[in-house]
Structure 1
Amino acid sequence: MSQRTQQRSAQRKTPDHDRVFGWLDDPSDERGMRFRLDDGSWQRLTYRELAQRTLGAGAALADAGVRPGDVVPLVLPGGEDFVTQFFGLLAIGATPSVLPLPLALRGGEGYQNQLKAITARIHPRHAIADPRYHDVVAENVARLGGGTEVLAPSYADRPEEAPRAWGELAVLQFTSGSRGSPRGLRISMANLATNLGMIQGWMNPVGYGAVTWLPLYHDMGLVGGLLGALTLQVEHALMRPEQFIRDTRGWIAEYGRTPYSNMCMPNFGFERVLSAVRPEDLEGLDFSALSAVVSGAERIDPAVLARFAALLGPHGFDVRALMPAYGLAEGTLAVTGVSKYHVARMVRAGGLERRLGEKLDVSEVVELSTVPVDEPWTWQVSCGPPLETARVEILDEDGAPQPEGVLGEIYVEGPSVADGYADPAPEDVAKLHDGRLYTGDAGFLLDGELYVIGRLGDSVKINGQNVFVEDIELELVASGAISRRYATVVAGITGGEPTVLVVTERPLGDRLDDALSVIASFTGDAAHAEVLYVKRGTIPLTSSRKPRRRSLWLSYVAGELKERNDS
């Protein structure tokens, strides 16, 4: 028996493998993927053409020495090479691990440190990098002394000879690191297949998927933005994040000219559209085919969604297409979501009495509309009921399940919960094991739907109440005191005193007193409030562009944050 025949029979093929990369065996000649090129044009490959390129990539990777069971880091921008190398690895039984690009973490020493931390956990025999990133990848993995060979994307001219094997580990997905250094999540083939089924049954893309720009090294971009549509072989389009930022109007126009039905992005994506697109830019466009617009990954601002719906409304957009959702990397991605063709609900949970294990004061329940709400921090947007196979509970500080309307930690259980962390610490096992996940997020259930408030680790207790920095930040943005793009809020205890800190990379000027007044409305005189103006690039970001609040707070406590004096 040849080595390739042995590799092919090493694992038994399962329905999970068929769901993830069965499209390679029966690719479509009619439908395909479009890739945005650097000159602004688009390249389209049918799924048959893409499958041939993918199998050619698999053959080249096998020739280079990649074997079933190997974990291979990918440092590739979104495009044809990413798709073919990712699936080429899966097709030969290896496991891709998608790493951030230098631009995602502002490059420099911070990126190099993260790259070294990740590769030190993997100890890869091979890595695949775009030629423009080859040197930085090769230099940093070489320091580990493991002899990692850095490959450029390549393709053998005999795709029919590509070995086939059926691995059990689909992706080693590194978390974005908002609470510390990134950790590798073992996403099994069963985890990924289950979550893809949940997403596809919920969003139901028919014929056309999305024009996705989300970073593919993040779970929302990889699973929700790319794999959910590609594995169904619907017509789909792929841009890179920087292309979306440079040409937001061109991106939204793709939806207005072509019947793409899905859209998926975090709150800052909707904010970008609102800042870059004017009503006159939408003349002649039709958004009536857009039926599933998912908002997730960070606290949902109801005012932003209302303004987005109002902008597109005159051109056929239906507010019922808005589908707020909750998910996280440890759940593979999706956990809950507002059902399709249902109007998302909001509840006003007013007052500052937010203690874990106590019932919230819900005074109003309304439907999300095109009219922005006042005091957005008092409104919680429904993230919908649990998707198929997921179970969600709310726990108090002792881990006891709580009834509806009570604030607590969000707990998730089900077959799409990740297999576990690579090289886990005891606290990692306590958080995530056997399909059970203690998320560290705070929220409550109402009428079977989940409402997410914020991260427990980023909140601070004041007079026994949990004050969430997400609440404060929403109100600061709504009041015009800060811009979310240049500022963030952190909190904790310093010298025994609760402290709320606004870190901003732009001077607040005459808005400083307004910012302090907003903080005081949450804390009274029971906490210290401070605004720190720092140089650009000081606020550390995760690979998904969220602030790393914990790292920022620790820098503040250590006295490492230096205030600028040019305000």
Structure 2
Amino acid sequence: MPIKTSPSSHQEIPAADLLLGIVRRLSGELRPTSKAMAHLGLDHALDSDFGLDSLARMELLVRIQRETGVRLSETALAEADTPRDLLALMESQPLATIPASPHFATQTLCEIGHPPETIATLNEMLDWHVAQHGERTHITFYVDEERTEEITYRMLQTESRELAAGLRTQGLGNGDRIAIMLPTGREFFTAFYGALYSGCVPVPLYPPTRPSQIEDHMRRIAGIITNAEASILVTDERAKALGHLLRAQCSSLRSVVTVSELSGPIIPQPLPRPNAQDIALLQYTSGSTGNPKGVVLTHTNLLANLRAMEQASGITSADIFVSWLPLYHDMGLIGACMGSLSVGFLLVLMSPLAFLARPSRWLWTIHRHRATVSAAPNFAYELCANKLDDRDLDGLDLSCWRLAYNGAEPVSSDTLSHFAARLAPYGFGPKAMTPVYGLAESSVGLAFPPLGRGPLIDRVDREALSGTGIALVASMEDPNPRHIVSCGRPLPEHAIRIVDATGQVLPERRQGMVQFQGPSATRGYFRNPEATKLLFDGPWLNTGDLGYLATEDLYLTGREKDIIIRGGHNIHPQELEEAVNQVRGVHKGGVAVFPATAPQTGTERLVVLAEIKEFARNKERSRIQSEINRLAIDLLGLPVDDIVLVPPRTVLKTSSGKIRRSACRERYERGVLINAHHKPWRQILHLVYSGIKTQTKRWQHRCVGCAWSAWAWTVFAAIVPFAWCLIVLAPALTLRRNIARTSARLVLSLTGLTPRVEGLQHLTESTPTIVVANHASYLDALILTAVLPPRFTYVAKQELLNKTLAALPLRRLDSAFVERFDSTRGAEDTNGMADLTRAGASLVFFPEGTFQSESGLLPFRLGAFVIAARCGIPVVPIALIGTRTLLRGERRRPHYSVLQVLIGEPLYGKGDDEWQVALKLRDTARTRILARLGEPDTAT
């Protein structure tokens, strides 16, 4: 395909030569000292050979359009790995230049009725919209630059219910996790709401974009799927092969399917109706592959957050929201998409790649639809402020834009001023810029500024803040103050406080750890009790951020785990990173500042990692190092211990573009900071090899597990029937209980399950006592029988009397039975057990009354505690750890587990009011068990 060099030129140049020249010139600007440029051809990699990162690729697409007249789609940004890939895409495009100043028709929407506050789930919210105005457009999605697709509420409901039926026919339902790895589009919403209608829990994952990063991407995704124990991965045809690679890594993953494969005619069957406290979403936060954190968000959490943000923002159903934010990220999925469902405003969606390919498309889409609301991280505003040409903006009108949310990453005061100044000639009002603060642990939003106020920036004394933690207002003569942007005030019904390292609440303008509470707050991380324990400080949740409050506004100063303490000063890496990013020769966005431990001395060092041109000369490198050191001294008052200048794409980032400082530190300390970027085919081969290796280890583990399970059943079959006969035939109660205890100990010993017991001294006295333990397995009673003295009487459910094989030995062991469902009979049983304790009996209760497969402590029934209060006897709480893993739910195959029986100190009731004493005993016992158990509190 020959292409003219300019509209007035009659000379035609082959497209391959012209394209290669454009790529080489751009690469040469980034790497002026490279001698290999002339030898790079069409089949060399755009990233590893030419050194073009995402922002450079964006510039490349702009130059291709200007010099050839061919306007490439965002597919080129994501999928093209070599210039030859770009050439193929160019040859499939018409040779035409799109006008720089399009004029679009405006769009207005009428306001609709507000959904009732009684709606308790997302399913009910969608059903309400369908009932009220099913043909109203819910989402307008840009398939490409000019072509849109309309999704009405009814279309979304119908397609989602079809997919839900498909999930149900595959045996999936209540609580099963469904991983969704789909790009922005109609199929994502079908899969997401289809999972909700089926009773499953959707787990959004970000789809792969760059072939050169496929291995790192798939490893992180595998970590999430493994943690979530997802049963099915819903993806598109292009990613199915990668999905099958994941199956080799993730034992829970049964199949990889597309939306069309799951959808079909609805088979008449009732779909489950979720409860408000059911999990609606697992939102995975950015983290390492080894410790993914899935934030548990219920329908109640999400709707509380959406309603609070609606109240704080004043958004109505007449508003129009334009978003290019990824749907796997809370700001895009919850803030924009679920916000549209909750309020009823029109959502106009673009692909994230469409924005990255041409940031001006975001602004033109706002112009075209006369959108009133949009949101983006700070980097997007910075990109628009600095990278857009006047020709990209000619004719643009942003006067309709009243809420420009800036969140999801630290907000720069410079960015706010640059963007406002750059877009002011095009109607953008400075008060429209709205910095906000949120986090997945609070669903998404936590702090919003008052309406119409505009950005509020605090000038503080830099030395006072880093040295004493006090945010003193800087004097007007201060040559180097620190500018900190307000994130707003807590949303309605939410609260924020600042505490020090000891948990003491700090006054205004004192820097400390930011904590929050409110109805949007998660109950913890999915299957990650260690991280959950660190998240909570009583009823408050730790954000991990540092900041201070001033006249109710929250000001963030950094991340708690990233802070560097040197010479009595608290150093926030973001500030130095922002300054180093401005150094000539440093790749903007490619800077990480972190502390690292020196292996020789064990002391902490300040490290600056900065990406520069790959072949920079020694003189250029020395200049960059000197400027970085000068900046450090100016900003922090002390030099940097180590400045590491690295090639592009070395600094690790999350999927949303945040610097992964901890991961950079880990690689730095291990000495593996710079890794070669392998070709995609080599990465895929490595993933296949890893999958085979993982499958082999899994097979070996499964074989060992099956052998142990068979041995456990053999021991059980050999001992339990014999013990059953002895218990039934033995003449004395003491003898029968000793037989049960000895048999239980023998079973545990022969299977290697003897538990670690702590606190047995609390049960040595022979006085009447009530033991309460958490209930997670059918084997809990067996384990307690092996551990406790043989004087205890077990309280069992009345239903067991209908099972002869169980009822006979339980009666011979003098167990007490209680009615769980008939309140009158239950009260009579409680009175009878109170008489037993007065006669000297000690009782064992499982106050949850039942157990479940999923981890979490259920609410406690009051019977045991009423008896204790009525008879004036102590309650001893016991935490059983590991029994749920040993025999989960209704399964018959046991799995080896490390068992612990943690016996707490006796609790004594005080007071004359029996009911209040019982309530206090119940709450105290449950709190102590929960603290030692390390599982979520399902009562919250």
The answer, yes or no, to whether TM exceeds 0.5 is yes
2:191 aligned to which of 73, 85, 93: 85
Aligned to 2:389: 278
SS of the aligned residue for 1:353 comes to helix
Aligned to 2:513: 409
1:561 Cα shift? 1.7
Contact map agreement 1:346 1:381 (CA 8 A) in 2:
yes
User: TM-score, length-normalised on structure 1?
Assistant: 0.89
Deviates more, 1:545-554 or 1:28-37: 28-37
- The code of the aligned residue for 1:174 comes to Y
1:319 Cα shift? 1.2
Give CA deviations for 1:73-97 in whole Å, capped at 9, x if unaligned: 1111111011111111112221101
Q: Is structure 2 residue 501 aligned with structure 1 residue 397? A: yes
- CA distance, structure 2, for counterparts of residue 336 and residue 104 of structure 1: 34
Give CA deviations for 1:114-170 in whole Å, capped at 9, x if unaligned: 122111112222221122111212222233333511121123244986724215101
Aligned to 1:266: 377
SS of the aligned residue for 1:484 comes to strand
Aligned to 1:328: 439
1:433 Cα shift? 7.0
- The code of the aligned residue for 1:173 comes to Q
Aligned to 2:120: 15
- The code of the aligned residue for 1:438 comes to N
More helix by share: 2
- CA distance, structure 2, for counterparts of residue 19 and residue 411 of structure 1: 31
Aligned to 2:921: none
1:322 Cα shift? 1.1
Contact map agreement 2:319 2:345 (CA 8 A) in 1:
yes
Q: How does 1:119-138 map to 2 (within 5 A)?
A: 119-138=225-244
2:628 aligned to which of 515, 537, 556: 515
Contact map agreement 2:587 2:648 (CA 8 A) in 1:
no
Contact map agreement 2:234 2:256 (CA 8 A) in 1:
yes
2:286 aligned to which of 176, 184, 189: 176
Q: Is structure 2 residue 469 aligned with structure 1 residue 469? A: no
- CA distance, structure 1, for counterparts of residue 586 and residue 461 of structure 2: 22
SS of the aligned residue for 1:352 comes to helix
1:537 Cα shift? 2.7
1:556 Cα shift? 0.7
1:439 Cα shift? 1.3
1:197 Cα shift? 1.0
1:208 Cα shift? 3.1
- CA distance, structure 1, for counterparts of residue 457 and residue 572 of structure 2: 18
1:179 Cα shift? 11
SS of the aligned residue for 1:343 comes to coil
Q: Is structure 2 residue 678 aligned with structure 1 residue 552? A: no
- The code of the aligned residue for 1:343 comes to G
Q: Is structure 2 residue 208 aligned with structure 1 residue 95? A: no
SS of the aligned residue for 2:589 comes to coil
**5+ unaligned residues in a row in structure 1: which ranges?**
1-12, 366-372
Contact map agreement 1:460 1:493 (CA 8 A) in 2:
no
- CA distance, structure 2, for counterparts of residue 357 and residue 190 of structure 1: 41
- Equivalences, count: 543
Q: Is structure 2 residue 491 aligned with structure 1 residue 387? A: yes
1:66 Cα shift? 2.6
Give CA deviations for 1:348-369 in whole Å, capped at 9, x if unaligned: 112233359742221269xxxx
Aligned to 1:71: 177
Contact map agreement 1:412 1:437 (CA 8 A) in 2:
yes
Q: How does 1:87-486 map to 2 (within 5 A)?
A: 87-103=193-209, 107-146=213-252, 148-154=254-260, 155-158=263-266, 163-167=271-275, 168-177=278-287, 181-206=291-316, 207-354=318-465, 358-363=469-474, 378-432=482-536, 436-478=540-582, 482-486=586-590
1:296 Cα shift? 1.1
SS of the aligned residue for 1:499 comes to strand
- The code of the aligned residue for 1:541 comes to K
Higher RCO (CA 8 Å, separation ≥ 6 residues): 1
- The code of the aligned residue for 2:445 comes to A
Q: CA distance change for structure 1 residues 51 and 456 in 2, over 3 Å: closer, same or farther?
A: same
1:545 Cα shift? 1.5
- CA distance, structure 1, for counterparts of residue 648 and residue 226 of structure 2: 30
1:100 Cα shift? 1.9
Greater Rg by CA? 2
- CA distance, structure 1, for counterparts of residue 128 and residue 573 of structure 2: 44
Q: Is structure 2 residue 638 aligned with structure 1 residue 530? A: no
SS of the aligned residue for 1:515 comes to helix
Q: CA distance change for structure 1 residues 260 and 353 in 2, over 3 Å: closer, same or farther?
A: same
- CA distance, structure 1, for counterparts of residue 300 and residue 239 of structure 2: 32
Give CA deviations for 1:321-345 in whole Å, capped at 9, x if unaligned: 1110111111111110112211221
SS of the aligned residue for 1:359 comes to coil
1:479 Cα shift? 5.4
Q: CA distance change for structure 1 residues 427 and 71 in 2, over 3 Å: closer, same or farther?
A: closer
- The code of the aligned residue for 1:442 comes to L
Identity of aligned residues (%): 26
- The code of the aligned residue for 2:120 comes to P
SS of the aligned residue for 1:60 comes to helix
- CA distance, structure 1, for counterparts of residue 382 and residue 290 of structure 2: 26
User: TM-score, length-normalised on structure 2?
Assistant: 0.55
Q: CA distance change for structure 1 residues 292 and 385 in 2, over 3 Å: closer, same or farther?
A: same
- CA distance, structure 1, for counterparts of residue 670 and residue 157 of structure 2: 52
1:177 Cα shift? 1.6
Give CA deviations for 1:403-440 in whole Å, capped at 9, x if unaligned: 11001010111111112111223353132377521112
- The code of the aligned residue for 1:445 comes to L
Give CA deviations for 1:232-282 in whole Å, capped at 9, x if unaligned: 332111122111111221221011122211111111111222233234433
SS of the aligned residue for 1:547 comes to coil
More strand by share: 1
SS of the aligned residue for 2:514 comes to strand
Q: CA distance change for structure 1 residues 427 and 15 in 2, over 3 Å: closer, same or farther?
A: closer
Contact map agreement 1:462 1:523 (CA 8 A) in 2:
no
Contact map agreement 1:383 1:450 (CA 8 A) in 2:
yes
Q: CA distance change for structure 1 residues 559 and 232 in 2, over 3 Å: closer, same or farther?
A: same
- The code of the aligned residue for 2:521 comes to V
Aligned to 1:370: none
Q: CA distance change for structure 1 residues 73 and 364 in 2, over 3 Å: closer, same or farther?
A: farther
1:104 Cα shift? 7.5
Contact map agreement 1:31 1:233 (CA 8 A) in 2:
no
Q: CA distance change for structure 1 residues 160 and 364 in 2, over 3 Å: closer, same or farther?
A: farther
Contact map agreement 1:326 1:335 (CA 8 A) in 2:
yes
1:56 aligned to which of 150, 157, 162: 162
SS of the aligned residue for 1:110 comes to helix
- CA distance, structure 2, for counterparts of residue 347 and residue 478 of structure 1: 22
**5+ unaligned residues in a row in structure 2: which ranges?**
1-117, 677-940
Contact map agreement 1:287 1:315 (CA 8 A) in 2:
yes
Q: CA distance change for structure 1 residues 562 and 79 in 2, over 3 Å: closer, same or farther?
A: closer
- The code of the aligned residue for 1:554 comes to E
Deviates more, 1:311-320 or 1:52-61: 52-61
Contact map agreement 1:230 1:236 (CA 8 A) in 2:
no
